Amino acid sequence: MPARGAPAVRRLASRKALLSACAVLAAALLLTVVVAIGLGPAVVTPGETARHLWAALSGGRVDADEVTTYQIVWQIRTPRVLLAALVGAGLSAVGVAIQALVRNALADPFVLGVSSGASVGAVGVTVTGGLAVLGIHAVSVGAFLGALVASVLVYAASSGRGVLSPLRLVLTGVAMSLGFQAVMSLIIYAAPDSEATSMVLHWTMGGFGAATWGALPLVAVVVTAGLVVLYRYGRVLDVLCLGDETAASLGFDPDRYRRVLLVVVSLVTGVMVAVSGAIAFVGLVMPHVVRMTVGAGHARVLAVAPPAGAIFMVWVDLAARTLVAPRELPLGVITALVGVPVFITLMRRRDYTFGGR
């Protein structure tokens, strides 16, 4: 009996460890959000920040001499920090899913051309004024359509005889990504004024400078729904990593699941790119960092990667807006400066196999 019960005990201990890790990350994320909201050119202590946030949430009274600080905390910094957390969580989860979809440890939304397609869609809508009937959601819809078109093109071009090869998917995605980047360069060249050009550059390098409360609801709903779906597909992602033949022998249709997951990935990526631009390295590096901590099981990785990615992105955004204040660094610059050394360190570790295989 003890021998039979040992696996169950190990699973219970593993589950408790995972829950503990998630609880610690949740507390760290909450603390990170409060601290990041208070830091900037005008520093607000964590106690004051918490008091202003509570006043905003509860409808409490704000003294006349604190109105300016309250507006900085609630109207300017809070939506930006929350948006950074959502995008960081979404990018980390999407990176985990894409690496499993294509069975490639170097895959992320950029590799499949999804981010580039979303950027083209968002910039195209912004420069041409298309989809104006959708109001504030026009850019988000344009980004989603661009991401979906990119996914469909990659899927159609990489499918051979009805079979979706992961290797062909990656190679086709890289080619499509380069093609979309060429389209972006053409838009920059043809942009009618410098304002349009700066807007295009924003999407190519990433940033949360335009964050508003109006942009948060859609992003929160889509990213949260995407995280839930991807987590529920954790076992499917485990099976897909074993190869198509093994998946088929276990009763899974790998192509059908890839189609579903590509739509989910496109939707989440499109909405994130619409509000933040294309941010590199987060979806590539964070999944590997998390796997080193919790193992390769996708249910565990998808439970830990979102809060870890959210914390990372909040600190990256804080660095972007404070290091050279009053100017603001592009997020892509900081994520690359952090991501490249981390990735090289991972490659040099003999005890780590990329993707956990």
Orientation angle between helical segments 194-205 and 331-348, nearest 10 degrees: 20
Residue 88 pLDDT > 90:
yes
* Threshold 0.85, pTM exceeds: yes
Q: Which two tokens stand for residue 227?
A: 């995280």
Q: What is the CA radius of gyration of the chain?
A: 21
The residue-averaged pLDDT of 237-248 equals: 86
**pLDDT at position 1, please?**
43
| AA identity, residue 327 | R
**pLDDT at position 276, please?**
86
The answer to whether the beta carbons of residues 183 and 120 sit under 8 Å apart is yes
The pLDDT > 70 percentage for the chain reads: 89
Contacts of 244 (CB under 8 A, 6+ apart): 163, 254
Residue 110 sits at φ, ψ, to 5 deg, of: -70, -40
Q: List the alpha helices (DSSP H) in 209-280.
A: 216-232, 234-240, 244-249, 254-276
**pLDDT at position 224, please?**
96
Q: Which of 101, 225, 129, 120 is nearest to 176 (CA)?
A: 120
Residue 225 pLDDT > 90:
yes
Confidence of residue 315 (pLDDT cuts 50, 70, 90): very high
Of the candidate ranges 85-99, 130-144, 250-264, 322-336, the one whose mean pLDDT is the lowest: 130-144
Q: Other C-beta atoms within 10 Å of 338: how many?
A: 17
pLDDT digit string, tens, across residues 12-54: 567 788 888 899 999 999 999 999 999 988 899 999 999 999 9
pLDDT digit string, tens, across residues 175-220: 888 898 888 878 777 766 666 666 667 667 788 987 889 889 989 9
Residue 226 pLDDT > 70:
yes
The answer to whether the beta carbons of residues 206 and 279 sit under 8 Å apart is yes
pLDDT digit string, tens, across residues 336-347: 888 888 878 877
**pLDDT at position 357, please?**
45
Q: 3-state class of 122 per DSSP?
A: helix
- Domains, the chain, ranges and CATH? 82-356 (1.10.3470.10)
Distances (CA, A) of 68 to 41, 62, 73, 321: 13, 10, 9, 19
Residue 96 pLDDT > 90:
yes
User: What number of residues does the chain have?
Assistant: 357
User: What is the average pLDDT value for the chain, to the nearest integer?
Assistant: 84
Orientation angle between helical segments 298-322 and 331-348, nearest 10 degrees: 130
Cα distance between the two ends of the chain: 32
Q: Which two tokens stand for residue 17?
A: 């460890």
